[in-house]
Amino acid sequence: MPIAVMAVSFDQRVVVAAQEPSMRVLLSQASVVRLRADGDQPFLVRGLGRGDQGMRSMEVSLRAGRLRIRGQLSDGSSRSLAARSAIEVLGSEDPRGIWLGSRRYRGRLQFLVRGGQVQVVNHLGIETYLASVVGSEMPHRWPLPALQAQAVAARTYALRQLGKAGDFDVKATVSSQVYRGVESETPSTIEAVESTRSLVLVHAGRLINAVFHSSSGGATEPSGEVWRNQLPYLVSVADHDQHSPVHRWNKRFDDDALRDLFRETGGVKRLQVLKTSSTGRVRTARVQGPRGSLVLTGRELRKRLGLKSTMVQFELINGSTDSSTASAIATAQRAPQATSQAAAQAAPPLIGLWQDSASGPDTTSGNSTSSNTMSSNTASSSSGRLASLLPPPPLPPLLPLLNPSAFNQPRPDLKVGEIVLEARGQGFGHGVGMSQWGAHGLALQGADFREILLHYYRGAEIRPYRSSDDPAVALRLRSESAWWG
Which pLDDT score, from 0 to 100, does residue 484 have?
59
Query: Would you give the distance in Å from CA 292 to the centre of its chain?
Result: 37
pLDDT in tens, 62-107: 888 889 889 888 888 888 888 877 889 987 667 788 999 999 999 9
**Confidence (pTM):** 0.76
Contact present, 73 and 57 (Cβ < 8 Å): no
The DSSP symbol for 347 reads S
3-state SS class at 8: coil
Q: What is the torsion angle, in degrees rounded to the nearest 10, for the CA atoms of residue 351, residue 355, residue 360 and residue 366?
A: 90
d(CA 463, CA 244): 30
**Alpha-carbon distance 363 to 371, whole Å?**
12
User: What pLDDT, on a 0 to 100 scale, did the predictor assign at position 92?
Assistant: 65
What average pLDDT score do residues 155-161 get? 96
User: Does the pLDDT of residue 119 top 80, yes or no?
Assistant: yes
Determine how β-strand 98-100 pairs with β-strand 103-105: antiparallel
- Identify which of 1-15, 159-173, 369-383, 438-452 has the greatest average pLDDT: 438-452
Question: CA 205 to CA 192: how far, in whole Å?
Answer: 25
* Percent of the residues in the chain that have a pLDDT greater than 70, as a whole number: 72
Sign of dihedral through CA atoms 366, 142, 382, 354? negative
For range 254-279, the mean pLDDT? 94
The per-residue pLDDT for range 401-441, each reduced to its tens digit, is: 333 333 334 455 667 777 899 999 999 999 999 999 999 99
Amino acid code (one letter) for 270: R
- The whole-number pLDDT of residue 320 equals 58
Please compute the mean of the pLDDT values over residues 219-248 and round it to a whole number. 95
- Phi and psi at 70, nearest 5°, equal -120, 120
Mean pLDDT of the chain: 78
Separation of alpha carbons 461 and 464, rounded Å: 10
Identity of residue 318: N
Spatial distance between the Cα atoms of 415 and 318, rounded to a whole number of angstroms: 9
The angle that helices 126-137 and 187-194 make with each other, rounded to 10 degrees, is 130
Could you tell me if 443 and 146 are in contact, meaning their C-beta atoms sit under 8 angstroms apart? yes
- Straight-line distance from the first to the last Cα atom of the chain, in angstroms, rounded to the nearest whole number: 50
- Cα–Cα dist 370/183, whole Å: 37
320 touches 417 (CB < 8 A): yes
The predicted-structure confidence for 298-328, as pLDDT tens digits, reads as follows 999 999 999 999 999 999 887 654 443 443 3
